[in-house]
Amino acid sequence: MADTKKSCYILAIETSCDETSVAIVKDGRDIVANIVSSQIDTHQKFGGVVPEVASRKHVETITFIIDEAVRKSGLSLADLSAIAVTQGPGLVGSLLVGIVAAKSLALALDLPLIGTHHIAGHIYANALVHEMEYPCVALVASGGHTELVYIEREGVFRLIGRTRDDAVGEAYDKVARALQFPYPGGPHVDRLAGEADEAIELPRAWLEPESYDFSFSGLKSAVLNVINQAKMRGEPPMRAALARGFQESVIDVLVEKSIRAVKAYEAKQLLLCGGVAANKGLRAALAARCEAERVPLFVPPHELCGDNAAMIAAAAYLKWQRGQFTPLDMKAEPLFSLEGWSVE
């Protein structure tokens, strides 16, 4: 077991996709430094993330970001208790850059290494700003993930719902591209939907009556069908009404299934997390429904919704407390199991 009598400072590295981030977090709660270098400008001209380009950018910046995080923290490397890194899921090339950097630090400083699950990080971003109570349910909504996770007790995860095709963030980006918005398109669709006076009615994919799974590919196809029909008539598509109809369809399904899961599992809290948690429409609709149902809702601030290393440190602290460290021969796990990463 780790020595929990003195303060724990975890330096965490996150390079799962297109953000290079390094953070130092004290005792799993207090952010001492959290540096995020985004690659959005680089990938924008390609209309999405190019894996090879992303990994190369991580190589170019990782050393500088580590130096900046340590400098901003005011700590020395000798003050650190452990090194954490995103082990997966994510782009394998990007993951490997962070893992090599983390292994090198752990070996050079003779510190324990903690391979950390990316989605556990998104969930425990809430622990950086809120007091989590168990059992709880987390709605994870991001570019690559749409999942409902039941957390029975601290660090123990059970996946109860997942996307069967496009994740919600992917659906937003594809619809945004069809509406001629630049990458990343989600914020543009969210803004346009908020400005619309009317909505084009679009289908909701509820799937089987008892299912907590999600499917957004049919909704994306419905949007493209409306746009194509408008073109065939020689008319411009009603972009604002279409954006609002799309967003309302997504939100209805996310909110309804989340509330149903909270009730079924008698959860004390609902946690919203992931990059799409920054969506204003989703935050407002979920807050209103949770207030009506008297369900406590917790959402991280915007800066902790996207990929960042502070959330990785928060999740890694669960393992550090229990002395559950990772050997130095650890590999990147692009399809890492959240349930398998649960604390023992």
pLDDT single digits (tens) 165-174? 988 988 999 9
**In the predicted model, is pLDDT for residue 340 greater than 60?**
yes
Q: What are 178-233's pLDDT values in tens digits?
A: 998 988 888 999 999 999 999 999 999 899 989 999 999 899 999 999 999 999 99
Q: pLDDT class for 99, splitting at 50, 70, 90?
A: very high
Q: What is the pLDDT of residue 4?
A: 52
Could you tell me the domains of the chain? 9-125+305-341 (3.30.420.40), 133-299 (3.30.420.40)
Cβ 324 vs Cβ 82: under 8 Å: no
Beta strand extents in 59-205 (DSSP E only): 82-88, 113-117, 136-141, 146-153, 156-162
Q: pLDDT class for 82, splitting at 50, 70, 90?
A: very high
pTM for the complete prediction?
Answer: 0.94
Query: Cα torsion at 70, 27, 36, 112 (round to 10°)?
Result: 70
Q: Compute the distance between CA of residue 28 and CA of residue 150 in angstroms, rounded to an integer.
A: 21
What angle (nearest 5°) sits at the alpha carbon of residue 119, between those of residues 27 and 28? 5
| Average of per-residue pLDDT across 25-53 | 89
Q: Compute the distance between CA of residue 94 and CA of residue 58 in angstroms, rounded to an integer.
A: 7
The continuous run of DSSP H or E covering 22 comes out as strand 19-26
CB atoms within 10 A of CB 293: 12
